[in-house]
Structure 1
Amino acid sequence: MDLPNLPLLLLLMFASTINAQTLFPRPVCYNTGNFTADSTYLTTLTTLLSSISTNYLSVTYGFFSASANVSGTSQTVYIIGSCLGDLTTESCRACLSGSAIDISHLCPIQKAAVLYSENCTVRYSNASILGTITTYPDFELVNVNNVTSQDTYNAALGTLLDSLRGEAAGSGPLRKYATGSRSAGFDTIYAMTQCTPDLTEQQCSDCLVTIIARLTDCCAGKMGVRIMAPSCQFRYETNDQFFNPVGDPLQPSPAPPPPPGKSNKATVITIAITLPLGGVMILLSLTCCILRRKRKKMNEAVKGKSGANELTTMESLQFDLATIQAATNYFSHENKLGEGGFGEVFQGRLPNGQQIAVKRLSQSSRQGDGEFKNEILLVAKLQHRNLVRLLGFCLEGDEKLLAYEFVPNKSLDYFLFDLEKRRQLDWPSRYKIVFAIARGILYLHEDSRLRIIHRDLKCSNILLDNEMNPKILDFGMARIFGVNQTQASTNKIVGTFGYMSPEYAMHGEFSVKSGVYSFGILLLEIICGKKNNFYHQLDGGKYLASYVWDQWRDGKPLEVLDPAIGDTYTRDEVLRCLHMCLLCIQEDPAIRPTMATVVLMLSSNSITPPSPQHPAFFVQSRLRELSIPMEELELDQSTKRTIPSSTNGMSVTELHPR
């Protein structure tokens, strides 16, 4: 069979009456060359396929790969097998073993083939396939029933799949698998994305982007779709959770017990080996105890008030101080990327060649133990392409260090507020950045395992990668909400003046809607190319939000557009963004849209938003009139009023009532 240019398309309803055996296995035998029945190629291939079941340690973490040279030739045979991420170890091995037998019968003489089964995929080739993206041939299963409201459904589905794509791609080398759900009107969409773990994060993301894009051609608006490609796959269903909860990563099974009937000589040899090993194990145990005590002492600084060490589960992310010092050349000035109120940031390179950015908290920083612990426990659980990924931390002596993925293009404010660099941000680039930030915040508010309010969203906390894709960072001040929680209050006002919603700045009340307010201010700055307090500094009385509202009310909204954008903008997109900005910064949180609505408005013209009312820029004006030095923002317990904050853009952290 020739390598197809079109997918294998099967239009079937996903119903319990359909037997999976009628759908699977689904083989594709490539026409890249054949071998004879008695060839050494067949012998090598058979040996590799059988090793799945004969070698107890061959399948680890739901993935199998092997290669071997064909005796007497220059050829090499490569094999890859992968299981669905929610399969147990034994179920995975059984599926791969069965598929290995099936593929040898279904493609008896071909040098390359792929076999899709319901729970696993096996493929082999005479060309290297490990670490390469392969998206053809794919296998498509489609529910022929249509959804009722395609615009609403497709928008929710696109957001969910995009979120799961980032989570799967960034979930590390052991299991690139993610599941989740999302409401779409009266329906609930359940979805799964997965890549083979030999792909890099970028390769996994690219693979999923490619096959998810095929929805438009084959099955847009259908109630259920599954597309399987050699390197990645995804599936979604409506009102039917098809996946199981995922626990720890699949572990290799222990080796089987030795067969009975061993001789006395074998027993003597076993004892001779076991005794010295026992001594070694005792020494190792003592060493581990010492190390545990040392680590326990190191982690005392970040224990909770209850005394429980919340970092125990994060030990796998812990770096040695010597490793970080070597990576950053002992925090040399040449490796310094920047500095803020929390401390310094350094560029580094790990021994495996990976570039990192290290945040070194200063001893005088008000972002102390609480924020340090919060960021570790929180960010390590987040996986999205528009969030900066935490790689690890170090806590030794007086050093508190956080190691992140390295994002090369600095922060958004570095470009946006520079007279020359802002020209690199034309309107398509800014619109792309806005949409990606919105998707990242939506993930935090609705799609992550935890509902999270960032509380310090601003341009300096948005990094840009090589392709100017934004990544949100700095979760030291973030708060976790319960699944059904909608609002909370605090006596500690943290964040940056000018980005705080009025109900938070004045009463300590925050919710997802206070996050929407911060996004609205951020979006204003991106459109106008000016800081929120620019016009206040210019004429002594008017903030950016006030200026934009006046221009909108007077029918001159395009007057606020950054001149550096030139003629690259689309009028309808600019007006829609400005309209959305003003809705996001409304005084009443109930009037502000959710981030789901924001993403939908950015991706579709199908929604007609309500007319905005007078926005909530009055808070800054009131605070500015007070004569108290604007250095801190604190909440008075008795009067529930605020004492002003800094206007220099620095974050306010961990402030207590007097």
Structure 2
Amino acid sequence: MLCLLSFHTIEYCCSTSSDTSPWNYLDSYCGNITYNSGSTYRTNLNFLLDTLSSHASRTDNNGFYNFSTGDDASNKVYGVFLCRGDVNTDVCKECVADAHIRLLDECPNQTAAIVWYDECLLRFSDQTIFSKADLGENLTRCNPFDVPGPDWDKFKMVLINLLHNAADEAANHTLGKKFAVQEGNYSTDQKRLYTLTQCTPDLSPYDCKRCLTEAIMVVPACCSKKQGGRVIYPSCNLRYEVSVFYDTVSSASPNSPGGPPPNSTEGKGRSPPRAAFSIAVPLIGVAVVLFVMALVFLKRRLRKSYVAMAPETIAEILTAESLQYSLTEIQIATNNFSVDNKIGEGGFGRVYKGVLGNGQEVAVKRLSRSSVQGAEEFKNEIVVVAKLQHRNLVRLLGFCLEGEEKILIYEFVANKSLDYFLFDPENKRSLNWSRRYNIIGGIAKGLLYLHEDSRLRIVHRDLKISNILLDGNMSPKIADFGMAKICGVDQYEGNTNRIAGTV
């Protein structure tokens, strides 16, 4: 049974073929550069593939092995195999052996190639591929059946949470497999959703999480509203379904749903107190080591995630009275920042219309990497606006601070900004005197609140008509607090050492 696949969205459509392999072959990728069949590179490649195949039968490698051979750059070849974390050694060995044959058949003289099976992958290249998160060629596949409409919103949120939890667990896997499964209910009648994530064990926790996060971001584009799907990169992969597709016994861990209770003694007698003590002491030592390792990892992760921000800036953002969203949630809400969803653009970046999982419409302000609004202004806008509540100020719902992404999520304001009406010959006709008067009054009330009545005394410093948004009733809302200055409650004048705002 051979499934029809591509490097884009792939549905479960299969047709009978002459392929008699017992393994679920998915697809292969062949590089563009070729070598001569009688060259040293081919000799080294044959040796490499034989070596990988022989190591697949070993029980001490956790279903993963990498190897390289060759004397110089012109003939050196690198290879790796990875078996799914829940398959046993016999399945791993047979899958890699089958992949060995297919790889040479599919890519007879290419210097780089990958073959994907459900149970394993096999790969080689003339460039080093070890300990690197490869986000190049990928394979996506989706279940042809849709999630029933009433269940979709809940399904989507549960899926995101399960995938991110599984990605965190895989990245921090202490047994070396970097493999995790998670499951949970997505409907009131206890319908279950099953997820699986895996990285090549040579990746660092940070690179594993980064690779899986990229894979999670692909899900909305390839498998929206589908009951199952998978995204496979050379260095990591994920899959989800509404039915179990992995070995629940092999996959179970004390930290994952379905795993045995950590203190279970079923089928065992009680140990004497002395034995219990002798076991407990080394376990405490292990726990201390793992705790220290976790602290180091978290420290490194924060330093890499918020690369441009000082610790005090991060602390202020994370304690702001607003909700932190994941990048995946924002991508789903905006259809992966689709051009069709773009509603504005400025020096800071672009603004997109989005719809959250609960159906709420939002405006998503995505700062570009070259944005004039830097880390300090981003922090300022979160900390300031999160503390403000007034009908004439735009309401900040949350933010996303992930990797190099800096994103603000606001309430959606239907009628864009005031300049859209004032400078458009057609639109300005709708601004009769009564509406203009109400807009002026609303702006004044918003400023009065900022200057006098809020729990902070705030000077906006960049008030202009493009920063005045109009809701469905044409009521004004002051926006864009990146340049705002917080003053003392009793402070009525101050000094500045630079010009702020729009020139």
Q: TM-score, normalised by structure 2?
A: 0.53
Whether the 8 Å CA contact 1:59–1:93 is kept in 2: the answer is no
Matching residue of 1:75: 75
1:151-300 to structure 2, matched below 5 A, reads: 151-172=153-174, 174-185=176-187, 186=189, 187-246=191-250
Distance 2:235 2:78 in 1: 14
Distance 1:138 1:410 in 2: 25
> Would the alpha carbon gap of residues 307 and 604 (structure 1) be closer, same or farther in structure 2, given more than 3 Å must change?
farther
Amino acid at match of 2:69: A
Whether the 8 Å CA contact 1:66–1:80 is kept in 2: the answer is yes
Distance 1:142 1:153 in 2: 15
> Would the alpha carbon gap of residues 34 and 191 (structure 1) be closer, same or farther in structure 2, given more than 3 Å must change?
same
> Would the alpha carbon gap of residues 433 and 308 (structure 1) be closer, same or farther in structure 2, given more than 3 Å must change?
farther
> Would the alpha carbon gap of residues 229 and 424 (structure 1) be closer, same or farther in structure 2, given more than 3 Å must change?
closer
Task: Report the CA distance between 1:574 and its aligned residue.
Answer: 7.2
Is 2:312 the partner of 1:312? no
Matching residue of 2:446: none
Whether the 8 Å CA contact 1:226–1:235 is kept in 2: the answer is yes
Task: Report the CA distance between 1:575 and its aligned residue.
Answer: 8.6
Distance 1:140 1:410 in 2: 28
Distance 2:87 2:394 in 1: 45
Matching residue of 2:37: 37
Distance 2:386 2:279 in 1: 51
Matching residue of 2:482: none
Whether the 8 Å CA contact 2:322–2:396 is kept in 1: the answer is no
SS at 2:215 equivalent: helix
After superposing the two structures, state which structure 1 stretch, 141-150 or 222-231, moved more.
141-150
> Would the alpha carbon gap of residues 218 and 184 (structure 1) be closer, same or farther in structure 2, given more than 3 Å must change?
same
Whether the 8 Å CA contact 1:13–1:145 is kept in 2: the answer is no
Task: Report the CA distance between 1:141 and its aligned residue.
Answer: 1.8
Task: Report the CA distance between 1:159 and its aligned residue.
Answer: 0.7
> Would the alpha carbon gap of residues 576 and 127 (structure 1) be closer, same or farther in structure 2, given more than 3 Å must change?
closer
1:136-535 to structure 2, matched below 5 A, reads: 136-148=136-148, 149-172=151-174, 174-185=176-187, 186=189, 187-246=191-250, 309=276, 312=279, 315=282, 318=285, 376=287, 391-392=289-290, 404-406=294-296, 407-408=298-299, 425=315, 430=320
Amino acid at match of 2:97: S
Q: Residue deviations 1:215-265, cap 9 Å, x none?
A: 11111221010221110011111133533322799xxxxxxxxxxxxxxxx
> Would the alpha carbon gap of residues 135 and 245 (structure 1) be closer, same or farther in structure 2, given more than 3 Å must change?
farther
Matching residue of 1:566: 384
Task: Report the CA distance between 1:82 and its aligned residue.
Answer: 0.2
1:81-96 to structure 2, matched below 5 A, reads: 81-96=81-96
Distance 2:223 2:301 in 1: 40
Distance 2:127 2:158 in 1: 40
Distance 1:240 1:215 in 2: 19
Distance 2:153 2:301 in 1: 36
> Would the alpha carbon gap of residues 57 and 145 (structure 1) be closer, same or farther in structure 2, given more than 3 Å must change?
closer
Distance 1:76 1:58 in 2: 27
**Structure 2 residue ranges without an equivalent (≥5):** 1-5, 254-269, 303-309, 330-379, 399-408, 412-503
Distance 2:136 2:246 in 1: 25
Distance 1:575 1:208 in 2: 29
Whether the 8 Å CA contact 1:423–1:564 is kept in 2: the answer is no
SS at 2:9 equivalent: strand
Distance 1:13 1:211 in 2: 22
Whether the 8 Å CA contact 1:67–1:76 is kept in 2: the answer is yes
Distance 2:40 2:227 in 1: 48
Distance 2:282 2:88 in 1: 25
SS at 1:246 equivalent: helix
RMSD of aligned alpha carbons: 4.4
Distance 1:563 1:215 in 2: 31
Distance 1:242 1:57 in 2: 21
Task: Report the CA distance between 1:36 and its aligned residue.
Answer: 1.1
> Would the alpha carbon gap of residues 116 and 39 (structure 1) be closer, same or farther in structure 2, given more than 3 Å must change?
same
Whether the 8 Å CA contact 2:11–2:144 is kept in 1: the answer is yes
Amino acid at match of 2:244: D
Q: Residue deviations 1:353-393, cap 9 Å, x none?
A: xxxxxxxxxxxxxxxxxxxxxxx4xxxxxxxxxxxxx6348
Distance 1:224 1:604 in 2: 31
Whether the 8 Å CA contact 1:112–1:124 is kept in 2: the answer is yes
Distance 2:22 2:386 in 1: 54
Distance 2:226 2:22 in 1: 23
Task: Report the CA distance between 1:46 and its aligned residue.
Answer: 0.5
Distance 2:410 2:21 in 1: 37
Q: Residue deviations 1:83-120, cap 9 Å, x none?
A: 00001112112211221121011100000000001200
Matching residue of 1:7: 7
Task: Report the CA distance between 1:74 and its aligned residue.
Answer: 3.8
Q: Residue deviations 1:272-292, cap 9 Å, x none?
A: xxxxxxxxxxxxxxxxxxxxx
SS at 1:102 equivalent: helix
Distance 2:244 2:120 in 1: 21
Distance 1:245 1:59 in 2: 19
Matching residue of 1:119: 119
Whether the 8 Å CA contact 2:385–2:396 is kept in 1: the answer is no
Distance 1:233 1:191 in 2: 11
Task: Report the CA distance between 1:53 and its aligned residue.
Answer: 3.5
SS at 1:10 equivalent: coil
